[in-house]
Amino acid sequence: MVRGRPRGSYRPLARRRRHRPDPAAVRGRGGGVSARVPPLERDDRWARVGLSALVEPGNGRIVRSLAAVGGAEALAAVRERRAGSPELYVRLEGFDLEEIARRVRACGARVLVPGDPEWPDALDRHRHPPYCLFVRGDPDLARLSERAVSVVGSRAATHYGLRVAAEIGEGLAARGWTVVSGAAFGIDAAAHRGALAAEGSTVAVLACGVDVPYPRAHERLIDAVAVAGAVVSEVPPGSDPMRGRFLARNRIIALLGRATVVVEAGLRSGSLSTAREARDHHLPVGAVPGPVTSATSAGCHELVRETDAVLVTDASDAAELAARIGDELGPRRAAPPLPTDALDPVEYAVWAAAPVRRRATPERLAVLAGTDPSRVPTALAVLEAMGLVDVEAGRWRKTPVGALGRGGPAT
């Protein structure tokens, strides 16, 4: 007899089954993440970091999941293979959030997520915002982007394009604007270097980890940008650059600036996607013109011809494009004034009729100018005082300076 049981109630013990936790129990009641999940994965910030390692940027399912349930639950759904799409699970094997966190700390990066004071709110306007951002350097992207211009263009830039990009970058930085670009060869690097030359702020958005210098030849440039501003990425430290990530990072470059300026771009240049992102989010786009025979400027010419892109020639144009209406107004461009601009119609007609080599009498000048002969002497007196004509033996002609219409001292 078993103590405490009625006679005849004993049954042999069934074979013990291996315990498998119920996913709902792991998540906890009400769908929350339970204490069985590693602490980092319960933290929204680090859960977003985990998602950035598991899923490529701009995945619509993850974006919607983050908006609906937050980072921890979104990561749990991927970990438990209930996020709804097989490509979300391909990197689960070997996933180690602790190791990712160690790399973040090792390279001195800061993780920003939506809601942080340093997070640039403009990124939230995109339908596929970053899950998080890794920042090396100044983490306050909200402040850096408050007054920023994105300057992009071709990797295979010409000497003309490199010079213009550097001058625009330097001029913007000297005016207190942050220069945003992608640290690539060509226009990007020239814009960064221009800002650094002016000891201004600049931001480089990478398609790889913030600890991975790409291109390798720009390692020193990227390090200098991290000191003067910030190096930014939406993929974790240690991540390699991939083609899709370059296209994805272009939306960040576009939205961090108050305007985007394309210096040089071929018809298939990736920088045109940055311009499209800016235009799609109602941000101004500028394009620097080049020679009509230049293939590296063909994309810029198409932007001006086919869209509402504004022609930009220097830093003052770029600043005016990005500034609020009425601010940063550039100087009015006009030809330098000439003395002939102040002449009245009769004086101008007499000056235009005066020969350069042979001299002419006032009567002949009246015929050539088609004006009243009685008004010619007065006009000649004015022109002589301005140094535009001289007289010899009652006959008149233009002075060498007057022939150019530039005037000069009376003789």
Q: What is the pTM of this model?
A: 0.81
Sheet strands (E) in 342-411? 389-392, 395-398
Residue 240 has pLDDT above 60, yes or no: yes
What pLDDT is stored for residue 32 in this prediction? 53
Query: At 245, which helix (H) or strand (E)?
Result: helix 243-256
Residue 29 has pLDDT above 60, yes or no: no
Q: What is the percent of the chain where pLDDT is above 90?
A: 81
Q: Residue 221 has what pLDDT? A: 98
Q: Are 50 and 41 in contact (CB under 8 A)?
A: yes
Tokens, residue 280: 């799609």
| Per-residue pLDDT, 19 | 34
**What is the Cα–Cα distance from 324 to 322, expressed in whole angstroms?**
7
Confidence class of residue 236 from pLDDT cuts 50, 70 and 90? very high
Structure tokens at 353: 């009729």
Instruction: Give mean pLDDT, residues 278-296.
Output: 96
- The pLDDT-based confidence of 406 (bands split at 50, 70, 90) is low
Q: Indicate whether 217 pLDDT > 50.
A: yes
Q: What is the DSSP letter of 148?
A: E
Report the distance separating Cα 111 and Cα 364, nearest Å: 84
pLDDT, tens only, 332-389: 777 788 888 889 999 999 999 999 989 999 999 999 999 999 999 999 999 999 999 9
Tokens of 233: 């990425």
| pLDDT the model gives residue 328 | 67
Question: CB–CB of 386/395 below 8 Å?
Answer: no
- pLDDT exceeding 70 applies to what percent of the chain? 89
Q: What is the pLDDT of residues 38-87, one digit of tens each?
A: 889 999 999 999 999 999 999 999 999 999 999 999 999 999 998 888 88
CA 135 to CA 342: how far, in whole Å?
A: 59
The two beta strands, 389-392 and 395-398, are antiparallel
Q: Does 410 have pLDDT greater than 50?
A: no
Q: How far apart are the first and last CA of the chain?
A: 140
Average pLDDT in the chain: 89
Q: How many helices (H) and strands (E) does the chain have?
A: 18, 11
C-alpha span between 11 and 2 (Å, rounded): 10
**Res. 326 pLDDT band, cuts 50 70 90:** low
pLDDT of residue 295: 95
Q: In the predicted model, is pLDDT for residue 14 greater than 90?
A: no
Where residue 28 falls among pLDDT bands split at 50, 70, 90? very low
Over residues 95-122, the mean pLDDT reads 96
Q: Which residue has the higher pLDDT, 400 or 144?
A: 144
How far apart are alpha carbons 162 and 179 in whole angstroms?
Answer: 15
Q: What is the mean pLDDT of residues 6-21?
A: 38
What is the token pair recorded at 401? 């300076």
pLDDT at 24 over 80: no
Whether residue 49 contacts residue 133, with contact meaning beta carbons closer than 8 Å, is answered with no
Question: What mean pLDDT comes out for the span 29-43?
Answer: 69
